[in-house]
Structure 1
């Protein structure tokens, strides 16, 4: 591919909508459709910015997954898998309520991985300054095991590809409310990859990892950084921890490229976690990453999707804000002048009838109407202590 884009690229493929376990599963790709619709109705996603994905090759998957695992995924992807593979599904983590095997699983997930690798190619070759792939961010999959709604780990595959093809030093930033465990363990002993994950403490939440003392091993000690925040953490505390640690880490690590994962399940409305952030975080956080990418990496920034289970009130706004920041849309300056700027009426009209809850009608949340968290000061102090511990051994 030798196209040149002067603007950021939005990678989107209808096949990724089929990444779906079953009709009652919380991982619901309608959120992608709603996000794209919101951006289009906002006039912020021209057709020329959108590229379709490609499929990852087996060789690209093998950088981060075992051959036996890929074989199992393929075997469990057919409409009626052989009995021996059904018996083996548990061994590969593909028989749980969280991550059950489904028809077409291999082809669909290989497309997700390919989209994230395409994003790396676009950015590392200078064909595009930034690239966003919201279908990606499946950060829990391990070398030989599916987990946490994730079959193949596209984030790990994209990092491994950036390292191997471009010799890049990669900083991975994970803002999902669940710890980015699959990516951390893939590169735990690799000094060329830094990982920063800010998430709700694993004391109470899947996957139970991401303690502040998980710092990498061998030559990579100090390159794995975790900020496990307390339940009911709010915007100010979350942003303080994230901003201070990331700003210091990137200055020391000095990566060639940032690959960030943007699960938006730290929002107060998310049903699967207990962090209490508002949409303000999902504006300020990409603004910081964008600025740091230009400061340290000549602008090279690949962003991926991730978790987010309030698909009506949270995900479309949060992911749209990420693109609005990345592509420097005029809406952002409007939002600075008018914090209660409304969403496009056409989008509200299109989705309110389908939503089981009243949609939020503004880009940012009316947090002044939210009930205050009673333990705010205690939570803030505990997070500050965690932040200081996280910064002790940065490399």
Structure 2
């Protein structure tokens, strides 16, 4: 019998800190953990630590020379090797960088292990989802690719099929790259179109190679896409592919930077739509993967108004105690936010758009609509490779 949902947490993750001017402010993790506690969600799951990812685990995805470069930069940040993406504006080196990155990676790998063993059906690591790191380099605020490491560990443990669903506003390029030729891993990424956003990859024509042809799926959404379009795109692509693939485990990445308040991107998605996709991922895991679900965080740079609420919803969904959108946020948390950031915190767990209305793909499509064009481009590129009708 599977135990309660596990929330993977270690205070050390707040040390993943690129500096005061960097948008990846670790306060977002601290505030999320406090909101989870204020809502009582930590009483609905087991809060556990995990071993930091060691050398052999990191090498499941990352090259040995890169890991050594991260270690060296952690000791002497001023000597970081830019050839590995370290010491850049996106990924400035900082003391202890290797250790804290290994902690985050270890939490995601630990989540994968407990779900695979059956100790828990669901496990959440909202400090994870660092999906841009490549086998041989840092990129996009990401040092070690914990999502890829979790998937690689599942394969090592015997999983035959792992589905990865990435709804961050940025393309999940590092995970796609790690499994580009591996038919055992289906990577699906919904993201803002590469014409308008980093990392300028994730075109619908990127579908994998060799034995992995058709195992990479990319939905490139037009800038300005809102709730109805985002949910329409998700449901027009993801459920049908998951149903066909029949994964042993679903791993999902829930970057909160699709939100209309996020300062680094151009989608217009609400917290309520983000919650709806969390619920959908949970349901897909139960329908097609025996309930086995590893849920990760990701990007998100509206660190007070959006990220804590979005990921607290994620914990609630995973724990089987979803937070009602109309829930009033405890005053104690709002006071903590002001004391910590001097910002006023949101009052409710909603943006006022629940329930979100959207139109299913089966209702037909408009060939002149940019969102429908994006969805159709993905279906035409991938579905025939998987023996499905586009």
TM-score (norm 1): 0.90
- Where do residues 211-290 of structure 1 align in structure 2 (5 Å cutoff)? 211-290=203-282
Distance 1:380 1:267, change over 3 A: farther
Give SS of 1:190's match. Answer: coil
Q: How many equivalent residue pairs?
A: 373
Q: 2:131 aligns with which of 124, 139, 153?
A: 139
In structure 2, distance between residues paired with 1:50 and 1:213: 41
Please list the CA deviations of residues 108-145 of structure 1 after superposition, one character each: whole Å capped at 9, or x if unmatched: 11111111110011000100010001111110001111
- Where do residues 306-325 of structure 1 align in structure 2 (5 Å cutoff)? 306-325=298-317
Q: 1:77 aligns with which of 64, 68, 74?
A: 74
Which residue does 2:361 correspond to in 1? none
Give the C-alpha shift of residue 358 in structure 1: 3.5
Give the C-alpha shift of residue 155 in structure 1: 0.7
Give the C-alpha shift of residue 378 in structure 1: 9.8
Which residue does 2:41 correspond to in 1? 44
Please list the CA deviations of residues 239-281 of structure 1 after superposition, one character each: whole Å capped at 9, or x if unmatched: 0101221111101111110111111000000000010011111
2:186 paired with 1:194: yes
Give the C-alpha shift of residue 362 in structure 1: 1.1
Distance 1:56 1:309, change over 3 A: same
- The question of whether the paired residues in 2 share the 8 Å contact of 1:168 and 1:257 is answered with no
- Where do residues 372-391 of structure 1 align in structure 2 (5 Å cutoff)? 381-391=369-379
In structure 2, distance between residues paired with 1:192 and 1:350: 44
- The question of whether the paired residues in 2 share the 8 Å contact of 1:73 and 1:105 is answered with yes
Misfit runs of 4+, over 3 Å: 352-358, 377-380
- The question of whether the paired residues in 2 share the 8 Å contact of 1:42 and 1:344 is answered with yes
Distance 1:382 1:42, change over 3 A: same
- The question of whether the paired residues in 1 share the 8 Å contact of 2:133 and 2:139 is answered with yes
Unaligned runs of 5+ in 2: 355-364
Q: 1:112 aligns with which of 104, 118, 122?
A: 104
Please list the CA deviations of residues 269-314 of structure 1 after superposition, one character each: whole Å capped at 9, or x if unmatched: 0000010011111210011111110111100000111100000100
TM-score (norm 2): 0.91
Distance 1:5 1:250, change over 3 A: closer
Distance 1:384 1:107, change over 3 A: same
Q: CA RMSD in A?
A: 2.0
